[in-house]
Structure 1
Amino acid sequence: MHKRFAPCLLALATLGIAASLQAATEPVPLRWNADRLGNHRYTVQVEQPAAAVRVIVPWRRRDAHPEQVAVIVLGPDGQVVDNVARVHIDQAAGELVFEAKQAGIYAVYYQPYLSSGHANYPTVTYAPPHDSADAAWLQASGAGDPARRAKLPQARVLGYQAVDDFDAYTDMERTATPQELDHVLAAHPAAAWLLFPETREHPVRMFDRIPERWAQRGAGGTLSEHALRGEYLSFQVGAWAARAAIRHVQISFGDLHGPGGKVIGAAALTCFNLGGIDYAGQPFTTQLDIAQGRVQPLWMGLDIPADTTPGVYRGSVTVSADGIAAQQVPLAITVDSGEAVAHGDDDPFKLTRLRWLNSTLAQNNELVKPFTAVTVHGTRLGILGRDITLAGNGLPAQIDSHFNERMTGWADTPLPLLAAPMQLLVQDASGSHALAAATPPTIDVDGPAKVHWRSSGSAGPLQATVAASLEADGTLSYAIALTASQPVSLSDIRLEIPLHNEAAPYELGLGRTGERAPADFSWRWNVQNNQDGAWIGAVNGGLEFHLRDEHYRRPLNTNFYHDQPLRMPSSWDNGGNGGVQLQREGARYLVKAFSGPRHMDAGQTLHYDLVMRVTPFKTIHPAEHFAERYYHAYADLDMIKAQGANVVNIHHATPINPWINYPFLQADRMRAYVGAAHQRGMAVKIYDTIRELSDRAPELPMLESLGQEIISPGKGGGFSWLQEHLDGNYIAAWHVPENRDAAVIDAGQSRWHNYYIEGLDWLARNIGIDGLYLDDVAYDRITMQRVRKVLQAHRPHPLIDLHSANQYNPRDGYINSALLYMELFPYIDRLWFGEEFDYQHTSPAYWLTELSGIPYGLMGEMLQDGGNPWRGMLFGMTNRLPWTGGDPRELWKLWDSFGIEQADMIGWWVHDTPVKTDRDDVLATSYVRHGKTMIALASWAPATVRVKLQIDWRALGIAPRTATLVAPAVAGFQPAAQFKPDDAIAVEPGKGWLLILQ
């Protein structure tokens, strides 16, 4: 395996003083408190005690203003030397004079910092210079007099050290001095830019200056590298815009010619910085410009065929730009006789995985379970449990749901969602004009999981084109373009969705938490809020919608929404004139998305894009849900199994998955743990999302070279490693102080998604993971589909659970977690919602729509303060081991003794549920088996109340005369009790019972 460069040892060896340092008295501990002294130091040898000694530290710093940062000197006794004079500080070197009361090795710490704030989101500031020197000593030392200073004893520089190898500055971070830069430029007096070929082992880390390594070597030269047959070889050409700004960098490749006339064709080469394949599988190109003075690494890849004849292959890369003569960079690639395993991907440090950035793995229109192929019967489209009938204009005329209220199967008669066809209306002085197509839409099949159609027509004075698609999960996507052929003034362009009342009892979104749908409600666009749509529906049928335009880009979520907020759609928003009106009108519930008055110029086109999803996405499977019991922590497997759990979630910051969203660096340990779990009949899932990325990822320097494509731009800051090794244009994310792991925020849509999919495939094949634990993911449905396909290809029953903290707050843009992630729900198995959710003061409607997942085809668990176990049982929800605030083990025991996995779950929301109560604020869910039923009661009443059960004995198959009603003792939940079926049962506020009726 490639070993990371260790500057500490190399610096000592280069200076030829490693032996003397080893023989010398230990100055201070080899490891030190970085939070006090910083991560970097030079050690210097003082031969004799002296009132003042002089030293010039050749630190070659990359921080822009070293003169603004303190220097701390520690003596051989480990104590701070107060009498220190900073004679001259710049990036190249620091000249110091300090008091040396004893001989020995002194340490000069030159980037001390102060850390404050939340440990996981630290604020690190670098200590400013502090004059601690005594005035009398300063005068006597002669530090301010060049002549006297030159006569002072000289401390001998021993070498550079870092707090650990990972924090150490690499040779690509030691800056060239001004004199060295002048020398390089003098060698190329007419060049606007200079090129420096560089191997993958030395990734470019600085983008505003060149390293000492390049200055000493000089510009130009041949890129020489070794690789195996079948390996993917990554390398760089560093471009320094030394004298002018460079526009439109271009790359071309030639064939590589080897022994015996063998050729590796130019098509095997690529440059990642100039484009590739995006996360949606579409090719793209990037115009690359380089500002004057900046360094741009051009990362390239060579896909060496496995049958390549060993030997040296020579060719060239041609680099050019607008108005600048092309330059050739010679390549000399020695292909060794060995053959790479999996292109070399098993060793992340080789950077062979860069090819994953352009992967199209699982980018297709194939099905995943449980979805069925889209059927087409004229204009009626069928998907799992739902039908969509298109009107002549291509919009839905009707949507039918075949799901039953239990969400476990199909209803005898479908639930129609629409009271009338949807309409797009253009209103001008002459009235309202509905979108009308010139010809009916023709439906084309893209694959079993997708169909699409197009139509064209008009809406009053505007010409219209409609491009739409339906996918097997229930997603309807519309791109509607309206074009004015002549100048026109309009009073409104709006979409009307008339829902049946029965299909619109609940609503969430548009600035409202999940609740009964309001009778009359208005909403307006606001960039401070991550809101562009809503879900409205019943348990067994509903519609999610989002209003967008052609410039939509997924916002950042959680703590970072305001760093990249929602782009206001110019069509729907219309400068603040647009909004949504919800209104119950007799037998229908009307959704009216309006954009208000506007003027359109001749030829102007507006894009009224629309994304809808028909819910539920799939049936729920209570038996599987109750059988899969989660332990959410890394621990001994036998202990976990003894607790009653059989699914283990491995978070990051654990021994086998230490680095956030980069689960590849402890592969052997992870593989052993997963294998041991499988031997015990247990499943293991790992935390891995791409919302943020660990600084430990070997690819990080290369990702930085892509500008803002993958790493979200921001103000920098955060943990010291980020500030010391990145270029500053990033958003600091999660930090784990225990193992000094720091992350940056990734863009919501980028080629890193392609890498992620390939990485999951690698993990499934090589480690055997059983699924994923997702914690507030940043990617969209396209990537989620691919995730499911990859895992399903390798595991018979992959498991994916999604956790979210409550994002309905100003920091996160008042977005409902359920609505934010609803597009992912078809491809996951359960929810864990989550921190900051209120389980005590929210309604049953809130529980149903925001927490349970049931209206969408999911079940879930509770988190914050243990949730409310009595209310949770109405929805099949418990806590998760070993999190504090709730312990599900006693409930699990009751489940097993009752046989809940063999029961039919009939929720309180089902109109003909066999057990009800005589109060609206005390609800009952039944778990029905042959001859016995477990009844979950939970109260929302403000005080203790007495309720009677209303039992459909025939539906339960139980004779009332011989029936018993028993509350088994469940520690922490309820005492043992016995009732008669017609007793009035006392229920405390916020609590309930689990009763066995048989």
Structure 2
Amino acid sequence: MNITKNTLKIITALFLFFFTVGLVAQSEVNYSIADTPWEAGFGNHRAVVEVPEKAEAIKLDFNWRRHDKNPEDRRLLIINAKTGDTIPNVHRLTINNETCKLVFGPVEKGTYYFYYLPFKPDNDWGYYRYDYLKKENSPSEQWIVENKLEQLKKTKKLPKAICKEIQARTDFDSYYPMEVTATKQEQHQLENSTSSNYIAIAEDRKYPIKMREHLPLKWIKDGKTHQFEGTAQKHEYYAFQLGIYAFKTNLENVSLEFQDLKYLNNNTIPASAFTCFNTHGVDPYGTPFTKQVDINKGKVQPLWVGVDIPKSAQSGTYKGHVTIKVDNQPDKTIEIILHVSEETIADRGDNEPWRHSRLRWLNSTIGLDSEPTKPYAPITLIEENKLDLYGKQVTLNEYGLPSAINVWGTEILKKPIRYSIEGETVEATNKKSTNLDKGVVEKTVSAYSKNFDIQTTNTSEFDGHLSYKIKLVAKQDGQLDNFKLEIPFQSNIAEYMMGMGLPGTKVPEKHKAKWKGPHDSFWVGNTYGGLHVELRGGDYHGPLLNLYKPEPPKSWHNGGKGGFSIEKGTNETTATIYTGQRKFRKGETLVFELAFLITPVKQIDTKSQFVNRYYHNGLDPMPKDDEITDGVKIVNLHHASKYNPYINYPFIATKEMKSFVDQLHDKDLKVKIYYTIRELSNYTTEIWALRSLGNEILGTGKGGGYPWLREHLVADYRPQWYSPLENGIDASIVNAPGDSRWYNYYLEGLAWLVKKIEIDGLYLDDVSYDRRILKRMRKILDRIKPGCMMDLHSNTGFSKGPATQYTEFFPYLDKLWFGESFKYDEMPPENWLVEVSGIPFGHMGDMLHAGGNPWRGMVYGMTVRYPWFTEGVSCDPRQIWKVWDSFGIEDARMIGYWDKRPVINTNNPDVKATAYIKEGKLLVAVASWAKEPVSVKLNIDWDAVGLNKSQVKMIAPKIEKFQPNKHFFIDEAIKIDPTKGWLLVIE
């Protein structure tokens, strides 16, 4: 028989490979989980070491097979299991990721625990502040000399301790089996067993591929395979993995080509039932895409595959294959054997996260349609260029821009909105097109100037959102001196503004701003009408949180030349956005993108504000019966509680959450949960599948943070929120900025939570997605469980003006909670009205920081949430709630100082008043913004409130920590201290 050199080489490699596998089996260390977790500070891993005899010094030599960084920098702590005594002397011989060789002593015969990753615990929530413990002290010089340890060869004669097993503190901490690394020798033997430039290994979903730069020992022990075999149930979305190890060269454009799986009598699972999530997907806006997968030399890349098993599939064994294709490399084939059982699985397998069936959620299009959400209605076309958007009428001019915006009878604009090119006349053409759907109208118009062809595309939506793209195409080389967008407001509407560097304030006579920080948007208006304007560009349209700092749109920014100005006149107030000078080349295209939102987005529901009172207690989310009797109607279930332990991943403690929801439903309360998207818990079941997608979903960073992250993720992540739990630590990492398929997963997760857990909505705490995602969320909630609610919380220090940043969310929210870091006692009334109350936008809100200011809050119909605790202040609005209930405020008509025809005011402009009117009685909230104590008289329009001045009395009911019981004469001057006020009943 002739044996070629290549054949001999392969035979030799196989011999060496199986010989290595044999060595692995002979020297294998057992891996286990501790029966009871040891003290956290000792670290998440330890070796259990047996010492056979008493000795002054004993040698330990074993492969601990680690993939974390810098094992040589960690403290080595060896403790007598029986006595708890710490061994004083540890002499390091070799410490690296593969092996640990050291001498320690003195020792007695028995068991020792060797902790090699001890750290300082942090029992406070927020951000992990500490680190691993520094290296242990050097061993005693006398001990070194007495045991002759300065001579390496002498250590060979020492007695040997045996590593019996490696233990993890908990199952979640364990490295076994997919993070127990192969040694370099074992890895080389595997590489030498093939003539290919890469190795492909099929792996079960139960063992997610976790390491990027190391091979798991499991693959060495199993032997490489060209076959995947698994068992699925009917109607299951079945997931598995293919691991690609590029050990000789970089691999470019890795893809998978699936074949039908076949069974007897031509039964098939078609190739179209397969999806590789790494190479194909659907973005959050319904657009399919393809991703190129490249693998650098020395790296391991998991490819996650899902197969949609039909409900009608015949049980049996289906066979086929998948072909791995790589540019400039031979194809590889992996055989697939899939046993389909008789059982039909419930809910596609989604009720059991370990199955990874939810990966298909990444490509979901749930809620992606143009149907209006409640309370909005389909758009009607009154005339060719006149739209009705839920009673708001928008007229578009020949350039496609609004020439009139009428909000329930109030006209916002003084003149049409216009763009201009400085030094050129713009002429409209007759080229235009219109597409009308129930909830969307798309319109395109064309224009031209001397140097540019111009196309304006407008999308008007049912909620009053108008988005624009104005595209300029240069006809020739030249210069653009300035591009301007001018918005001329009615001055009687342009009372207040926020954004472009200003907090909620009165519109100044003049103001200019440049692109600095989160100045991408502004709002101008009052409680009867207004316009929010956002200047856009690029892919990210969400709020400019401090975690995500996208560059300003290049078209508007123009290298810092662009800016904003507003000037207030007697009848017209004009906001101008300008770009400054720039040069153009012939054929060059520039797009100016912007969006308008007409406000108020809807009519204020004061009854909901006064009836739906929140219980919001992160530490103890279960209200007591007496608290419910006092008026609690809605419970916000925060994360880091036993009912919702893991941040933004409420799919593990589902039994606990369901029990909580059921208990409160039995008491006629609603439950909303904390569930958002900015960061993601390290307990996320699919975290390794998400990590296989590169930084599409999980953000990049320098690593660090809580030890679990360093030990498992190792690198390429950014640590975020950290919460100690009853049985562990929830250590999150930041999601990637911008759009990602995690939005689709998040939305399907919301649908699942409403259906399965029966939650009543969401509490949103600073999110990064934009209004399009919130619109999908609103549709999901309304369609599955009408009556669900969403409220949004933000922090002025965090979002740099949350009302400005989140205005586009307002059509889909039920309530605002903008209050963290707010300095209520320092904020002027216009700041309260615009940035806290929500009233100009058709909303109402609650106070937060340090209990808010209860007197000023009542002017805007606000209290704090019970019993939220901030800045050392416990918030308890129940005494005010009792006054509400006694008066019947939920059925009252609210008229504030901001209204065109207020029914009450004071003789001091620094003291504001709001009236709550019912038949035969009146509740008046009065609060002072004066810097000194003042005495004021109330001016009441008695006819408007329906009361006879001569027949009424005025009483201040006793409210603990708010006001004493006191009777006033109607015309009596009322004394008010700075930042304080009164709540008065007149009847």
Q: TM-score, normalised by structure 2?
A: 0.94
Alpha-carbon offset, residue 559 of structure 1? 4.7
Change (3 A) 1:559 1:162: farther
The answer on 1:286 being equivalent to 2:277 is no
Distance in 2 (alpha carbons) for counterparts of 1:218 and 1:489:
67
Distance in 1 (alpha carbons) for counterparts of 2:166 and 2:26:
11
Partner-residue secondary structure (3-state), 2:293: coil
Change (3 A) 1:192 1:556: farther
Distance in 2 (alpha carbons) for counterparts of 1:16 and 1:214:
16
**Letter of the aligned partner of 1:194 in structure 2?**
I
> Which residue number in structure 1 is paired with residue 524 of structure 2?
536
User: For 1:634-661, what per-residue CA distance to the aligned partner results, in whole angstroms no more than 9, with x for missing partners?
Assistant: 1255354234212111111112111111
Alpha-carbon offset, residue 555 of structure 1? 6.3
> Which residue number in structure 2 is paired with residue 82 of structure 1?
88
**Letter of the aligned partner of 1:493 in structure 2?**
F
Distance in 1 (alpha carbons) for counterparts of 2:713 and 2:860:
47
User: For 1:753-779, what per-residue CA distance to the aligned partner results, in whole angstroms no more than 9, with x for missing partners?
Assistant: 111111111111111111111111222
Distance in 1 (alpha carbons) for counterparts of 2:122 and 2:756:
41
**Letter of the aligned partner of 1:973 in structure 2?**
F
Instruction: Give 2:430's match in structure 1, choosing from 434, 439, 459.
Output: 439
Instruction: Give 1:101's match in structure 2, choosing from 95, 98, 107.
Output: 107
> Which residue number in structure 2 is paired with residue 406 of structure 1?
none
> Which residue number in structure 2 is paired with residue 132 of structure 1?
138
Quick check: 1:553–1:567 contact (8 Å CA) kept in 2?
Answer: no
Change (3 A) 1:558 1:602: closer
Change (3 A) 1:117 1:992: same
The answer on 1:158 being equivalent to 2:153 is no
Quick check: 1:394–1:440 contact (8 Å CA) kept in 2?
Answer: no
The answer on 1:584 being equivalent to 2:594 is no
Quick check: 2:452–2:475 contact (8 Å CA) kept in 1?
Answer: yes
The answer on 1:725 being equivalent to 2:743 is no
Change (3 A) 1:185 1:306: same
Instruction: Give 1:954's match in structure 2, choosing from 908, 927, 943.
Output: 943
The answer on 1:920 being equivalent to 2:904 is no
> Which residue number in structure 2 is paired with residue 970 of structure 1?
959
Distance in 1 (alpha carbons) for counterparts of 2:428 and 2:739:
34
The answer on 1:761 being equivalent to 2:751 is yes
The answer on 1:485 being equivalent to 2:444 is no
> Which residue number in structure 1 is paired with residue 52 of structure 2?
47
The answer on 1:877 being equivalent to 2:862 is yes
Alpha-carbon offset, residue 216 of structure 1? 3.0
> Which residue number in structure 1 is paired with residue 335 of structure 2?
330
> Which residue number in structure 2 is paired with residue 234 of structure 1?
239
Quick check: 1:547–1:572 contact (8 Å CA) kept in 2?
Answer: yes
Instruction: Give 1:693's match in structure 2, choosing from 652, 673, 680.
Output: 680
> Which residue number in structure 1 is paired with residue 845 of structure 2?
860
**Letter of the aligned partner of 2:155 in structure 1?**
R
The answer on 1:708 being equivalent to 2:700 is no
Change (3 A) 1:806 1:418: same
User: For 1:949-974, what per-residue CA distance to the aligned partner results, in whole angstroms no more than 9, with x for missing partners?
Assistant: 11111111111111211111111111
Quick check: 1:117–1:123 contact (8 Å CA) kept in 2?
Answer: no
Quick check: 2:63–2:99 contact (8 Å CA) kept in 1?
Answer: yes
User: For 1:360-409, what per-residue CA distance to the aligned partner results, in whole angstroms no more than 9, with x for missing partners?
Assistant: 0111111111111111121011112411110111111111111xxxxxxx
> Which residue number in structure 2 is paired with residue 219 of structure 1?
224
Quick check: 2:199–2:244 contact (8 Å CA) kept in 1?
Answer: yes
**Letter of the aligned partner of 1:847 in structure 2?**
W
Distance in 1 (alpha carbons) for counterparts of 2:29 and 2:854:
68
Change (3 A) 1:12 1:616: farther
Aligned length: 952
> Which residue number in structure 1 is paired with residue 488 of structure 2?
498
Quick check: 2:925–2:984 contact (8 Å CA) kept in 1?
Answer: yes
Distance in 2 (alpha carbons) for counterparts of 1:238 and 1:136:
52
> Which residue number in structure 1 is paired with residue 16 of structure 2?
none
The answer on 1:508 being equivalent to 2:503 is no
Instruction: Give 1:319's match in structure 2, choosing from 317, 324, 327.
Output: 324
Quick check: 2:475–2:586 contact (8 Å CA) kept in 1?
Answer: yes
Instruction: Give 2:533's match in structure 1, choosing from 545, 558, 562.
Output: 545
User: For 1:698-725, what per-residue CA distance to the aligned partner results, in whole angstroms no more than 9, with x for missing partners?
Assistant: 0111111111111111222111111111
> Which residue number in structure 2 is paired with residue 7 of structure 1?
none
Alpha-carbon offset, residue 625 of structure 1? 1.2
The answer on 1:805 being equivalent to 2:805 is no
Distance in 2 (alpha carbons) for counterparts of 1:119 and 1:728:
23
The answer on 1:424 being equivalent to 2:419 is yes
Change (3 A) 1:826 1:725: same
Quick check: 1:632–1:882 contact (8 Å CA) kept in 2?
Answer: yes
> Which residue number in structure 2 is paired with residue 987 of structure 1?
976
Map 1:234-383 → 2, pairs under 5 A? 234-377=239-382, 378-383=384-389
> Which residue number in structure 2 is paired with residue 4 of structure 1?
none
Change (3 A) 1:653 1:362: same
Quick check: 2:212–2:301 contact (8 Å CA) kept in 1?
Answer: yes
Change (3 A) 1:636 1:624: closer
User: For 1:516-570, what per-residue CA distance to the aligned partner results, in whole angstroms no more than 9, with x for missing partners?
Assistant: 11111111123xx122121111111111111122x2324675452xxx3122211
Change (3 A) 1:14 1:265: farther
Alpha-carbon offset, residue 113 of structure 1? 2.8
> Which residue number in structure 2 is paired with residue 8 of structure 1?
none
Instruction: Give 1:615's match in structure 2, choosing from 599, 605, 621.
Output: 599
**Letter of the aligned partner of 2:779 in structure 1?**
K
Query: Percent identity of the aligned residues?
Result: 38
Change (3 A) 1:91 1:470: same
> Which residue number in structure 2 is paired with residue 897 of structure 1?
886
Distance in 2 (alpha carbons) for counterparts of 1:15 and 1:196:
22
The answer on 1:735 being equivalent to 2:722 is yes
Greater Cα offset, 710-719 or 506-515 = 710-719
Distance in 2 (alpha carbons) for counterparts of 1:856 and 1:906:
15
Partner-residue secondary structure (3-state), 1:797: coil
Quick check: 1:180–1:216 contact (8 Å CA) kept in 2?
Answer: no
> Which residue number in structure 1 is paired with residue 829 of structure 2?
844
> Which residue number in structure 2 is paired with residue 411 of structure 1?
none
Instruction: Give 2:653's match in structure 1, choosing from 646, 666, 681.
Output: 666
Distance in 1 (alpha carbons) for counterparts of 2:811 and 2:963:
36
Distance in 1 (alpha carbons) for counterparts of 2:543 and 2:458:
26
The answer on 1:570 being equivalent to 2:570 is no
**Letter of the aligned partner of 2:351 in structure 1?**
D
Quick check: 1:121–1:735 contact (8 Å CA) kept in 2?
Answer: yes
**Uncovered stretches (5+) of structure 1, i.e. residues with no partner:** 1-10, 23-27, 403-413
Runs of 4+ in 1 over 6 A off after TM superposition: 11-18
Distance in 2 (alpha carbons) for counterparts of 1:318 and 1:984:
87
Change (3 A) 1:640 1:206: farther
Alpha-carbon offset, residue 307 of structure 1? 1.0
Alpha-carbon offset, residue 29 of structure 1? 9.6
Distance in 2 (alpha carbons) for counterparts of 1:511 and 1:789:
34
Partner-residue secondary structure (3-state), 1:248: strand
Partner-residue secondary structure (3-state), 2:708: helix
Alpha-carbon offset, residue 676 of structure 1? 2.1
Partner-residue secondary structure (3-state), 1:214: helix
Quick check: 2:496–2:505 contact (8 Å CA) kept in 1?
Answer: yes
Distance in 1 (alpha carbons) for counterparts of 2:169 and 2:413:
65
Alpha-carbon offset, residue 170 of structure 1? 2.7
Alpha-carbon offset, residue 144 of structure 1? 4.4
Please report the RMSD computed on the Cα atoms of aligned residues, expressed in angstroms: 2.0
> Which residue number in structure 2 is paired with residue 776 of structure 1?
766
User: For 1:422-455, what per-residue CA distance to the aligned partner results, in whole angstroms no more than 9, with x for missing partners?
Assistant: 111112xxx2433x43126432113x22111112
Distance in 2 (alpha carbons) for counterparts of 1:160 and 1:651:
37
**Uncovered stretches (5+) of structure 2, i.e. residues with no partner:** 1-23
**Letter of the aligned partner of 1:597 in structure 2?**
Q
